[in-house]
Structure 1
Amino acid sequence: MRVPSWTTYTPILAAVMLVLTWGRYPPAVVLVLVAVLLMGAVVSAVHHAEVVAHKVGEPFGSLLLAVAVTIIEVGLIVTLMVTSKGDTSGLARDTVFAAVMITVNGIMGLSLLVSARRHRLAVFNPEGTASALTTVVILATICLVLPAFTTSESGPEYSGTQLAFVAVASLVLYGMFVVTQTGQYRDFFLPVGRDGVTLDQDGDGHADPPTRRATLTSLGLLVVSLVSVVGLAKVESPSIEKAVDAVGFPNAVVGVVIALLVLAPESIAAVRAAARERVQVSLNLALGSAMASIGLTIPAIAIASIWLDGPLALGLDSVQIVLLFMTVIVSVLTVLPGRSKPLQGGVHLVVLAAFVFLTIAP
């Protein structure tokens, strides 16, 4: 009889801890245990996502993890906006922008750096990656940049009509990309070798895909893991907010921390794929997560804003716009050749470091 591994027990324990601590203010000892189970749930989510991805193949596996994490991220943002006692008008903007910077610069940069250092060059399909990057840029511009320049509302806000248009446009654009990625042009999003030929679909060249039962079990445990990650992050959030206030950091730092916690499973999965010279999988995860974070979160928050009190500030400030502009330029230059040296990965990580530093010390 096969004994279940710790990746089976950990999501269940994390879910039990979530039930026991939800809506409460646990003591410091319990918060430490919550943090341990939170990290365990993150690693478990990566494991089960890779099992499911091995069964369904790329790019469906990357798409599944990106969408699952983003849907739960929306729930976390809305929950914090409802329950937090402070100003939450910019929480959605700060979290989504942080997610974009972490995915496009952090996950993408680290993946390119790891693969290029291990295999001399990181190789990927520029056509599929460029399509994903283009979609991310347009979504980021209409959702996060334009609100800072419109005049219908005072401040970095959209009017109700403008917000409705942007929500619909975001969903349409995201839907078009998903159809492109999973339909006729699916080959553009599959891992490629150094000769430009698409690699095998199994994921490692020799292992058989998991059984249907194992896949369904991992799918269920993936959902439990992701719910636990976001739920336990919510339990930890009051401590995070107090810590941020105690050291005198701006409120935007809370959004960065939330994005880091939510994106941890994708980050680990992307780096592991890059180490196996499957950089396209890493880029699918990075850009797909950025795209889903904007294209699904903003429409959901737009709908939720009907019932939420207070303004919804979406427009970035001037420093954030400059950082986004740098990210776009660097990403275009990285993607076009279809291969990357370690330098490109390092450049992306420096942009991420600048974002984190300027968020802490604006």
Structure 2
Amino acid sequence: MSDRLLRYARQWTAYVPVLALLVLAATWGRTLPWVLVALVAVFLAGGVLAAVHHAEVIAHKVGEPFGSLVLAVAVTAIEVALIVTLMADGSEKNATLARDTVFAAVMITCNGIMGVCLLTASLRHRVAVYNSEGTGAMLATVATLATLSLVLPRFTTSTPGPRFAPGQLAFAAVASVVLYGVFVLTQTVRHRDYFLPLTRAGEIIDGDEHAHVPTRREALTSLGLLGVALVSVVGLAKVESPTIEHGVAAAGLPASVVGVVIALLVLLPETIAAVRAARRDRVQTSLNLALGSAMASIGLTVPAVAIASIWLSGPLVLGLDPTDMVLLALTMVVGTLTVVPGRSTPLQGGVHLSILGAYLVLAVIP
């Protein structure tokens, strides 16, 4: 083992994910006292920070937009596993969990992460600059996926309530997979330059000459530790979920707040990585993370719950409430006006954050 790898292994980001996984194994399926709940929260935060570090190592090795794609897909894949696990008990209260979590992810990414990154970059560098072609394509795909999967069930008539009939659910699942696959092909092969950061003069930045390029062994080590960190993060979030559910119920809040809290926890790695990129004036990387996470959340969750519904006994409700549909429409309209110019001031960041604020308030006080 090289000296560089030894130094790398001594870093806290190498052993915190493993310790978090051990804590997960020791606490899984148990009712915890408040002291252990606090300990789990500490390791949950450590796993989030470690995941961000390893995702950035991989991103430096493979370059953009592959690095953003790795983090978005990895986090969302484990988020899907968490949703299916929570829905497996067939409880009526979990019928809308997939819908609430996915919609929360869309609102947090398209308004929260985008808003914070645009605000951060524009305050530090006067104007946030990004590629309107790539960002517009991502936003259009998110809007299409969200409408097909979350809005249409409210208007179908084959089944009672905001639910898809089996054939309709199958179409939504296949359409989600196909659209997400076409996007990945476009982002990584056909039009990769549309998703690379830009300079103030509009020139493409392919790579970071000031960043240390990890060796192959370092990148593979980070890839493995990223998987461990993400498993521990989502697993520990599942361990914390009973406490969250009890707290939500005790406070008299709607059950949909649970989905919001889960989405906030799972999206922490993308949020931190996106804000760091915005501070370095790599706004396109931030938007790749934000919109890519929203796209992956829908494109992977809907097919997964469609397949899981074959053996899950409980109902599957995907249709949004009217208030949420209004917020989704507002998000897409404002997002379109934000990305078309390819440049943003602090105003656009503030507008997106205000929409997120409205969503959070209405989630708590419907």
The Cα of 1:86 is off from its aligned counterpart by: 5.4
SS in 2 for 1:150: coil
1:132 aligns with 2:120: no
Which of 3, 22, 27 in structure 2 is aligned with 1:21?
27
Q: Deviations over 1:249-302 (max 9, x none)?
A: 000000000000000000000000000000000000000000000011101000
1:250 aligns with 2:254: yes
**Which amino acid in structure 2 is aligned with residue 7 of structure 1?**
T
Note closer, same or farther for the CA distance 1:349–1:273 as it changes in structure 2 (3 Å cut): same
Whole-angstrom distance in 2 between the partners of 1:307 and 1:73: 19
Does the 8 A contact of 2:61 with 2:213 survive in 1? yes
Deviates more, 1:81-90 or 1:176-185: 81-90
Identity, % of aligned pairs?
66
The Cα of 1:352 is off from its aligned counterpart by: 0.3
Structure 1 equivalent of residue 109 of structure 2: 103
1:302 aligns with 2:306: yes
What's the TM-score once normalised by structure 1's chain length? 0.98
1:336 aligns with 2:353: no
Note closer, same or farther for the CA distance 1:265–1:334 as it changes in structure 2 (3 Å cut): same
SS in 2 for 1:296: helix
The Cα of 1:207 is off from its aligned counterpart by: 2.5
Whole-angstrom distance in 2 between the partners of 1:251 and 1:86: 11
**Which amino acid in structure 2 is aligned with residue 230 of structure 1?**
V
4+ residue runs over 3 A deviation: 83-86
Report 1:160-239 matches (<5 A): 160-202=166-208, 205-239=209-243
Structure 1, unmatched stretches of 5+, are none
Whole-angstrom distance in 1 between the partners of 2:31 and 2:200: 53
**Which amino acid in structure 2 is aligned with residue 264 of structure 1?**
L
**Which amino acid in structure 1 is aligned with residue 199 of structure 2?**
G
**Which amino acid in structure 2 is aligned with residue 90 of structure 1?**
T
Q: Deviations over 1:190-241 (max 9, x none)?
A: 0001111001413xx3223100111011111100000000000000000000
> In angstroms, what is the RMSD of aligned CA positions?
1.0
Which of 63, 67, 73 in structure 2 is aligned with 1:61?
67
The Cα of 1:23 is off from its aligned counterpart by: 1.0
The Cα of 1:84 is off from its aligned counterpart by: 7.3
Which of 145, 160, 164 in structure 1 is aligned with 2:151?
145
**Which amino acid in structure 2 is aligned with residue 327 of structure 1?**
T
Structure 1 equivalent of residue 355 of structure 2: 351
Structure 2 equivalent of residue 44 of structure 1: 50
Report 1:56-95 matches (<5 A): 56-83=62-89, 85=91, 87-95=93-101
Whole-angstrom distance in 2 between the partners of 1:154 and 1:200: 51
SS in 1 for 2:178: helix
| Residues paired across the two proteins, number | 360
Q: Deviations over 1:163-206 (max 9, x none)?
A: 0011001100110111000112000000001111001413xx32
Structure 2 equivalent of residue 313 of structure 1: 317
